[in-house]
Structure 1
Amino acid sequence: MTAAIHLYRTLTQAASPFLGGLMKRRARAGKEDYGRINERLARNMPRRMPGGTLVWLHGASVGESQLLLELGQRLLEKRPDLLLLFTSQTQTSARLLGPALPDRAIHLMAPLDTPAIARRFIQHWQPDLCIFGEGEFWPNLILEAEKSGAKRALVNGRMTDSSAEGWQKLSRAFQRLVGRFDVVLAADTDTARRLETLLDQPVQSTGNMKSALPPPSASDVEIRRLRENFLGDRRCILAASTHDGEEAIFLDALKGNDDTALIIAPRHPDRGDAIESLLKTRGLPLARRSRGETPTPRTRILLADTMGEMGLWYRLADAVFLGGGHTEGVGGHNPLEPVRLGRPVVTGPDVFNFATMMDDLEKRGLIRRLKTPKAIGKALLTMEPPAAEALAALNEQADAPMTVTLEALLPLLPEPGLLQ
């Protein structure tokens, strides 16, 4: 064990007596669910499902959870005997995963990373395979999983230059934690290069697995109802997955185009009050989805502050402003959902989490990265839908990263019926 890991374990163990109080304070602030604090502390957990090989899939938030949900479903298609345990860090991801879980799967809030909590969690669930999504490196959980004999895999690994620089200072610790994984797969060639430097071993770039995610579904009845009662003959422009400050950029971009219907679907629906205040300050007529308000042809903006309806908003939109590219530290969001639904997409320039994908899509003419409200507004009002040939080529390649990942993971699973 390296000195850095030893120090981390010592500090996290020392913090353990204070975590219960911290979780309650976070719950009062709306950052945790009171009813799920025990899950964060690995206490009073559900019984392990009897029999079968258990695969634990862990991701931080919404994007990683969607990816791992699709991966879990693909694993079940290959191995129906599997039991799946999903964990994630945020309430938003928990609300997304809950109703979408397949049979033989459960979701828990991710356990806090102290030695005792990690030990309780691993000993209780006894996973056969632990899959960590994108960049979730929690030392105590990783070490306890290794100690238990579980196989470990990093899938769709993503690492920015700044993260790599930070880990370079702790390269021995990183090698001790991730270098012993059974499978390490990167989402792009830049991440693969950074991981190879840190680990001093080859790392395969599969491509971004999010390309294999199907576009979110939507009710045909609801699409027709909103087209008739809200949009009418108006052009509709969607601001999707926006963060603080990006709604103002979107509104500035379309100022003066009063004959256009707008939909704002924030990344975090709990920001609805703040966005409503912004819209009222600007004197814009709105309807708020979370309150069940019905938009009419006189409604300028539908504030879509709900979960699980992005497929509906994408299908109503003629063009999409994708958030995350104008907010420091976010690094952009996955553009493939609206692109694959045939929508022209504009996003901001700061998309480091999807740099390789954005480069490729922009070369194909499927997205545009723009900075100023003036340029964004002009593009949203004039861009044509993606060419059918470009979309067909994209869809042909979309499933390859998922296929390669499955081929790497399946050999790590014990054969059905073998004693564990």
Structure 2
Amino acid sequence: MNNLPAVITTPESKSLRNYRLLTQALAPLASFHLKNRLRKGREDAARWQEKLGQAGQARPQGRLIWLNAVGLGEVMALRGLIEAMGRADPDAHFLITSSARSSAQVIATNLPARTIHQYLPLDAPTYVARFLDHWQPDLSIWAEQEIWPNAVHACDQRGIPLVLLNARITAESAQKRGIIKAIYRDVLPRFQRIIAQDAASAAHLQALGASDVAVMASLKCTAPMLQANATELSRMQNMFKARKVWVAASTHIEDESIAEAAQQTLFAADPSWLLVLVPRDPKRNVAVPMPFVRRSADPDQMVAPIYLADSFGELGLWYRLASAALIGGSFGAIQGHNPWEAAALGCAVLHGPRVGNFTADYAALHVAGAAREVADSAALASALQSADLVQLGLRGQSLVRRAAPLDDLAGELLGMLRD
């Protein structure tokens, strides 16, 4: 057994009580808000009521571990930990929640064994209580940044152990959260274990009211490889066999302008070059200045210089087909997306200069000679033609394979399950 503090429910502060009263008063408006988003195509038509705490599946028998992450990257990063806990406890089941529809669509093809996905209920006492009444988790694990005060308070009051792990908070985020610091000073001490990705995040969390914050490298490099449909992979390998394939992954407008300009240079010199463009939001109307084919409309046409992959959950396919990947979010305000998914599949990692969300991750890749920063389209085109591109990818894959296993952390977390 571990030496973690026992679960001791604590009374709510005045700030938290006021927050709870306000969110409860606003709760009746939630249904109208979600239905409005549904009309605009921003919610899952089949599952939006999960956000009101209405379960979409039955609770499995036995121990249930609930893990929450907000977005796609955070959800996918939890898979390695779930698999490690699943190996250590073959009878345990897992519930993973998130808020974004894209995360539900992608995780559906990458769910670990004995794992259910649901949308996180809105943070109003009524919806949280409905959710907890049905699922009755034996441990609640929160990942990265977002903490929902009512959910944390309700778990604490029910004696459900709480863990915050893979926590990351920038100086800017910490400053914004300082406005409601009184709530954080109430909520953070309710966690029995807090693990930050880096020392700076640990310091910010302590300033907000946490104590005894440990530091551990990001979980993202330990996540299992993304899946790909074997039949589709074979078909597209045959379709792409005469092309020099590279991918621009999880892109935003700023990344796309760089990628498309680089592809124009490459294609003018050698028409065998093919850019697979994978927008972060496949539903967004992407402006492409060159001839292109769209996966959703012309999946078998390959004469164009750009293949627009307007589909969810297929990065595992594109990384397997490409020699290199420009990781999106690194030329604009987003500050980078996850490079480890490409590295795990031996795809050389290229990125722009703005990677604040993954500073430590990219630093580790650069130390290992497994990633390259490019400042503009000319540098990107040059990097894609470099002689050591294959070695760049192999070094990244090797680094992922050497990542510390999660068995110790999994054992510690399983030891916290309530009786």
Which amino acid in the other structure matches residue 160 of structure 1? T
- Maintained 8 Å contact 1:223/1:312: yes
Which residue does 2:266 correspond to in 1?
Answer: 257
**Quick one: which of 116, 139, 142 aligns to 1:129?**
139
- Maintained 8 Å contact 2:349/2:392: no
* 1:44-88 CA-partner distances (Å, limit 9, x unpaired): 6544333x1121111112111112233222212111222222211
- Describe the shift of the 1:389–1:334 C-alpha distance in structure 2 as closer, same or farther (beyond 3 A): closer
CA distance in 2, matches of 1:88, 1:140: 16
Q: CA deviation at 1:342?
A: 2.7
Which amino acid in the other structure matches residue 352 of structure 1? G
**Quick one: which of 290, 295, 305 aligns to 2:296?**
290
Matches within 5 A, 1:300-315: 300-315=305-320
Structure 2 residue matching 1:254: 3-state secondary structure:
helix
Q: CA deviation at 1:263?
A: 0.5
**Quick one: which of 329, 332, 345 aligns to 1:324?**
329
Which residue does 1:151 correspond to in 2?
Answer: 161
Q: CA deviation at 1:220?
A: 5.4
- Maintained 8 Å contact 1:154/1:184: yes
Q: CA deviation at 1:388?
A: 8.3
* 1:147-205 CA-partner distances (Å, limit 9, x unpaired): 11100111211111111122334434213212221111112232223223333523111
Unaligned 5+ residue runs, structure 2?
1-11
**Quick one: which of 138, 142, 146 aligns to 2:148?**
138
Q: CA deviation at 1:218?
A: 3.2
Q: Is residue 2:376 matched to residue 1:372?
A: yes
Q: CA deviation at 1:143?
A: 0.4
- Describe the shift of the 1:48–1:248 C-alpha distance in structure 2 as closer, same or farther (beyond 3 A): same
Which amino acid in the other structure matches residue 19 of structure 1? A
* 1:101-157 CA-partner distances (Å, limit 9, x unpaired): 345432211100012111221222221100111112000011011111100111211
* 1:335-360 CA-partner distances (Å, limit 9, x unpaired): 11222333322212221111111122
Matches within 5 A, 1:46-195: 46-50=57-61, 52-195=62-205
Structure 1 residue matching 2:225: 3-state secondary structure:
coil
* 1:264-304 CA-partner distances (Å, limit 9, x unpaired): 11122212xx12xx22xx2x3322222352133x2211111
- Maintained 8 Å contact 1:230/1:299: no
Which residue does 2:47 correspond to in 1?
Answer: 36
- Describe the shift of the 1:312–1:135 C-alpha distance in structure 2 as closer, same or farther (beyond 3 A): same
Number of residue pairs matched by the alignment: 403
Which residue does 1:229 correspond to in 2?
Answer: 239
**Quick one: which of 6, 9, 12 aligns to 2:23?**
12
Stretches (4+) displaced over 6 A? none
* 1:379-400 CA-partner distances (Å, limit 9, x unpaired): 2232522358844762454134
CA distance in 1, matches of 2:322, 2:154: 47
Normalization by structure 2: what TM-score?
0.89
CA distance in 1, matches of 2:116, 2:401: 32
CA distance in 1, matches of 2:241, 2:309: 14
Which residue does 1:269 correspond to in 2?
Answer: 282
Give the superposed CA RMSD: 2.3
More helix by percentage: 1
- Describe the shift of the 1:388–1:251 C-alpha distance in structure 2 as closer, same or farther (beyond 3 A): closer
**Quick one: which of 222, 231, 249 aligns to 1:240?**
249
